[in-house]
Amino acid sequence: MSDPRTSIGGNLPPVTPPGEPEVLADLKARYPNVETDLADLEAAAKTYPERITEEEQAASLQALLKKASTHKAAWKSWRSLEKKPWDTVAKIVFNFFGAPEDRAEKLIESLKPRYTAFLEMKAEKERLEREAKAEAERKEAERLEQERAAAEKRKAEAEEAERQANLRAEEARQRAEEEKAKQAEAEARAQAAKAEADRIERERRERDKAEKDENASNIRSMKAFMKQAERLAEQAAESALDQAEDDVFDDLIMEGGEIGRLGSKLLNSALLDDEQRAYVTGVRDTLTGWRKARTERMEVEEAEQRRKQEQARAEREAAEAAARAAQRKADDEAAARARAEREAAEHEAEEAKARAKAAQAESRGAAKDARDAFAEQKGAAKDEKVLGRQVDKVGARAARMERRNENATDADLSRTRGEYGTVGSLSGRWEHTIVDEAALRAASGPLGPHFTETALSGAAYHWMAAHREGFTGDRVEGQLPGVVFEWNPESRIA
């Protein structure tokens, strides 16, 4: 539950203290959920019966108690927050929040006995279950007495089971041999798939190396052309170039020239590293400046003709780049298919291996069943004597349980037992609620504004774990700014 003053429209800058009607109207406008939350709590409380008889009802009631405590803590925190800057209207703020707090406290006090009564009812139910268990032990003794008479029949059944187990053992051995052959076949397919994947990857690496080598060669050529162009540019800046030099300069720097052709081809490569790409981009910017100076002296027809040539060349190089990209994509897809086939083959080999192992285990199990059946056949004759001793033990245990129930104390009957035999009693735990996140972040120092909500809550929990030995009462506030700690009763399994 967040502080309404921190939401949009929740600011209330310092002003001359208003009168009581204005303060009440302002509080109701900024805290509209106080009355509705309280009404919801009271309406929910009316849905519980006077006597709790089910686990789900008890769990729901526990959640309602926690929710009521959380609302109560928030109302008290908000009351304190509103009271600080408004000493002249402190009584109005106190009354606005005090009444809901009192009603929430009455609500908690009225519901707690119901939860306690449920635990007592559960203890009584456990006592009755123990008595029923003692009765079941007596019936178990009678059942064992009847089983003694059936021991001879089981002896004959054990002989038949031995014969069937021997048959199953032979069948399992044959299945194990079949699965072993399938495993070898699957492993061979996995090796073939791996070899194909390796071939595709090797060819791809060779193509990538060739393209990288070509890129490096083009970079070296570009640097040589740029060195020549820089010399001509410096010469042109000092004096006019003759016709031959002018033509060479044009062939180097203009669109479709030697440097531009190499730059376009390099930029179309997907394997250009960052340093190479930065160099080519810088050359392109330099060419732009040179071309601007030269363009003014170029005739329109020459510019148009070279533009068309450059466009054709760019289209051709783009087509080549697209073809290389398509080839790389095809290589990637082929490699992916090869990997998938290899993984599928390896998976199939593993499954075949597992089936072979299972078949071998089944074969061993069937053989063991045969041995066990033979052992059971030999031991069936002794069952009568063993069952007789068991009858005597169960009878004695039932008698001891009856005496223990008769001598049980009230403390013993107040304890409850879990599904797997664990014992529970009325206990509880400390829980924390953040009622003022801003105050808690401020108390966390320079790191506070950078905590996530989860991290902030986790830090509050660890602080509680380190200091809860010093807590007193069912509710603790003020020890850690912005956080309220409450004792939550529950039935704990020990």
Closest of 41, 64, 43 to residue 114, by C-alpha: 64
Q: Give residues with Cβ within 8 angstroms of 264, minimum separation 6.
A: 313, 314, 317
Q: Check whether 395 has a pLDDT greater than 80.
A: no
Q: How confident is the model at residue 261, as a pLDDT? A: 83
Q: How confident is the model at residue 149, as a pLDDT? A: 85
Report which of residues 38 and 354 the model is more confident about. 38
Mean pLDDT of 280-293: 83
Whole-model pTM: value is 0.28
Rounded Cα distance, 93 and 413, in Å = 48
Q: Where exactly are the structural domains of the chain?
A: 1-146+382-411, 160-362, 415-494
With beta carbons less than 8 A apart as the criterion, state whether 130 and 412 touch. no
For 209-226, write each residue's pLDDT tens digit.
Answer: 888 888 889 888 888 888
Burial of residue 477, with CB atoms counted within 10 A of its CB: 0-12 exposed, 13-18 middle, 19 or more buried = middle
How would residue 148 be classed by pLDDT, with cut points 50, 70 and 90?
A: confident
How would residue 232 be classed by pLDDT, with cut points 50, 70 and 90?
A: confident
With beta carbons less than 8 A apart as the criterion, state whether 4 and 69 touch. no
How would residue 300 be classed by pLDDT, with cut points 50, 70 and 90?
A: very low
3-state secondary structure of 475: strand
With beta carbons less than 8 A apart as the criterion, state whether 486 and 69 touch. yes
